[in-house]
Structure 1
C-alpha cells in the first residue's frame, strides 16, 4: 500500500528578509483547482479505518518560522480544508510539535476547529481520520508522559478519538535509553488511552541502517521476548502492507 501526503501551504503573504530592507509579496486568493480524472477515489483499509490513498499534511499551520504562518490566514486555510474533505480526502496528518513559539500545537487546534465547523455533509465530517505524531522531547522519559501527551492532543483537537497515533522520530542514535520509553509510550497510549484506533512509526524519519542497528533489538526486547504479538500491542496499522 502506497500512502502519499499532500502538504497544502496556504500563505497569504511571502515575506523576504534582506540585510537592508524587508518586502512582502501578496499571493492570489485561494481558487479551487481542477480535479484529476481518477476522482473520486476508493478508500484504503488500514485496520478498522478507511482512509483516502492521499493524505493532507498540516505542518505549515502555525509555523511562522519556516512557512510564514499568520493567524489572519485561518479563514483561507478553512476553505482549503473544506475543499479537500468535499473532494474525498479524509486523512489529515498533524503533530503535537507543529506550531512555533506561542503557537505550539496550533496545527492540532486548527484541525479540530475546522472539523467542528465543516459546513458540508455530516457523513464526510464523521469519516475524517486524524493521524497525529508525538514528539520525542528530552523530557518525555516515561510511557506515562506519552499518555499525557496523547491526552493533551485530544484536548487541543477537542475530539474523542485519534485515528492514528505515531512516534515522530527515534532517539536510538543519540539517546538510546529514551528509546524504550518511546516504545513503551506507544503501547501505553494504545492500551490506556482507548481513543486511539491504531499506532505506528513515522518511517520517513528512519534510515534502514538505523532500523537494523537500533530498532530491531528494541522490537525483540520490548515486543517479542515476552511472547506478545505485535498486532496486539501496536495495533492494526503496523500490520498493514507497504
Structure 2
C-alpha cells in the first residue's frame, strides 16, 4: 500500500479510502466487520463515514457498526484514520442539523458515542451552510480541537469560493482551517477541475473524490447489462442514456488495454493533481479486492490522452470559459 499526506498536513493516509455508506442498509454488520478487517490487512488505514449514514437501517447505524468493530480491540481504532461528517438533519427539531455551533457540539458528541471512540481524526462538513457565519463555525471547531475531540477539519461538496472564504476566515483566526475537500469527481463528472481543484491546490487541501465509478457507470455497466448481471435505474439510467456512446468507447478502450473499466477509473483519479485518495464503497469483500487492483495499474501518457479524448476535462477557470 502506498501512503501520502492529507493535503498540507503531516497526516499520512492510504491512497484508497474505505467508504462505509453501504454498511447497514446494504451490508450486514458481520460482513462490514470482515471488509474493514481485510482493508487493514491490505494496508488501508483511511475510513470515511457520516453521521447520517444508515438511511433505511436508521440514521447513525453505520457509525454504530464501525464503533462495534473498534470495540473488538486489536488496535483497530489506533490503526484507523477516521473521518466522519456533520450537517445532515438527524432529527425533526430546528437545531438537529446544519452547522450552527449548537449542532456541531451535539453532533460530535453523538458521533463519538456511536463510534465508541474519544476522538475523530477528520471531522468534515458534509455541505456548505450558507446561513451560518464562518466565525461561528470556526469557533466551534476550535473548541473541539482544543478539547481533543477532533484533530483535523474537512469539507465536502464545497465550491471553490467556499473553500477560499473558509480558509481566509481561518487564517484571520490563526487556525489551520480545512485540511481536505471531499468532492464528486470521476471521468464522467469533472466539473471540480474548473475551480475546486485549483482552490484545493492553492490552499493545500487534499481532495477525496467520492463516487469514483459514478454509481457504477464506469465499472463496465454495458457489459454487465449485456450479461444480465446489472440493471440501472433512476439517475444512473438517465446518465447512461445520455452518455452511452462515451461509456461504450470507454469500455472498448479498457478491453484493448486488457484491464477492467473500474480499475482504470480509479487509477486515473490517482494521477490527478491534489487527489489524496478516492473513496471506494464496497458492499462485498469481492468489491474491495477489485478496488485494490487499481493500485497496481500505471497509466502512461498515451492512455491518459485517450481518456481525455473520450471524457473531455476542464481547464481551470476562468480560462475554461474566457480568454
Scaled by the length of structure 2, the TM-score of the pair is 0.48
1:223 aligns with 2:170: yes
Of 19, 36, 56, 1:57 maps to 19
Q: Unaligned stretches of 5+ in structure 1?
A: 1-40, 64-68
Q: CA RMSD in A?
A: 2.8
Residues 42-191 of structure 1: matches in 2 within 5 Å?
42-46=2-6, 47-63=9-25, 69=26, 73-100=28-55, 103-117=58-72, 122=74, 126-137=78-89, 139=95, 140=97, 142-172=100-130, 177-180=131-134, 181-191=136-146
Q: CA deviation at 1:195?
A: 2.3
Tell me, in whole angstroms, the C-alpha distance in 2 between the residues paired with 1:52 and 1:97. 24
Scaled by the length of structure 1, the TM-score of the pair is 0.62
Q: Give per-residue Cα distances to partners, 1:91-111, cap 9 Å, x unaligned.
A: 100001111256210111111
Tell me, in whole angstroms, the C-alpha distance in 1 between the residues paired with 2:79 and 2:71. 13
* Paired residues of 2:138 and 2:170 also in contact (CA < 8 A): no
Of 183, 194, 198, 2:152 maps to 198
Tell me, in whole angstroms, the C-alpha distance in 1 between the residues paired with 2:117 and 2:48. 15
Tell me, in whole angstroms, the C-alpha distance in 2 between the residues paired with 1:142 and 1:125. 29
Tell me, in whole angstroms, the C-alpha distance in 1 between the residues paired with 2:141 and 2:118. 18
Q: Unaligned stretches of 5+ in structure 2?
A: 181-202, 207-273, 275-323
Q: Give per-residue Cα distances to partners, 1:43-92, cap 9 Å, x unaligned.
A: 223335322111100111233xxxxx36xx22122111111111101110
Q: CA deviation at 1:147?
A: 1.6
* Paired residues of 1:44 and 1:53 also in contact (CA < 8 A): yes
* Paired residues of 1:58 and 1:92 also in contact (CA < 8 A): yes
Tell me, in whole angstroms, the C-alpha distance in 1 between the residues paired with 2:133 and 2:58. 28
Q: Give per-residue Cα distances to partners, 1:190-238, cap 9 Å, x unaligned.
A: 33x4121111112xx1234xx2xx5644554x434xx32342xx27667
More strand, by proportion: 1
SS of structure 2 residue aligned to 1:153: helix
Tell me, in whole angstroms, the C-alpha distance in 2 between the residues paired with 1:136 and 1:182. 15
Give the corresponding residue for 2:286.
none
* Paired residues of 2:166 and 2:178 also in contact (CA < 8 A): no
- Give the length in aligned residue pairs: 176
Q: Give per-residue Cα distances to partners, 1:133-169, cap 9 Å, x unaligned.
A: 1125462463132022111111001112211111000
Change (3 A) 1:44 1:123: farther
* Paired residues of 1:147 and 1:188 also in contact (CA < 8 A): no
Tell me, in whole angstroms, the C-alpha distance in 2 between the residues paired with 1:236 and 1:219. 10
Change (3 A) 1:80 1:59: same
Q: CA deviation at 1:178?
A: 2.7
Tell me, in whole angstroms, the C-alpha distance in 1 between the residues paired with 2:52 and 2:13. 23
Tell me, in whole angstroms, the C-alpha distance in 2 between the residues paired with 1:144 and 1:206. 22
Tell me, in whole angstroms, the C-alpha distance in 2 between the residues paired with 1:83 and 1:216. 38
